[in-house]
Amino acid sequence: MEAETLIDHGAPVRQFSVMLPNRAGALAALVKLLRASAIEVIGLSVQDSRDATVARLVVSDPDTTEQLFMEKGIPHTSCELVVIAMRESGPGLLQCLDTLMIAETNIDFAYALMPGPKGHSMLAMHVEDYEFAIAILHQSGFKLLYQEDLSR
């Protein structure tokens, strides 16, 4: 890879996916477990179904979260997300989507995160090629955020 295409960036934002029983209080119990270890939920997406729910979580401390899930026997998966700071919801979102479309990269799923420490809106995306998407968005002037930016 040529020197000008290398990007100095931080650790990717990690998302955890957890299967929860579809019953009242299941998500609240998971968030309470995290908060008891001083872990804050920064982003949340819930996919419902009749019997079970897939909760996607972005947290302030992914390493401790992974350890906690393993200790408690909570089945989970994790993946890397591209996170961008959005200045404006409408134009910023369309510019981001157009940039990725022109680069011919696919977005598997996306959702908004809680407002950041500086109050900006954030968009989390799982893309088919993380490094490629980061490079394209960086070259296009988007403000990319990494785990260090989200950990409080």
User: What is the pLDDT, as a whole number, of residue 3?
Assistant: 37
Token output for 140: 């296009």
What percent of the chain is modeled with pLDDT above 70? 89
Q: Please, are residues 51 and 22 in contact by the beta-carbon 8 Å criterion?
A: yes
Query: Once rounded to an integer, what is the mean pLDDT over residues 18-44?
Result: 92
Q: Which domains does the chain have, with CATH numbers?
A: 13-79 (3.30.2130.10), 80-147 (3.30.2130.10)
The per-residue pLDDT of the chain, averaged, comes to 86
Per-residue pLDDT tens for 33-87?
Answer: 999 999 999 999 998 777 788 899 999 999 999 999 999 999 999 999 999 988 7
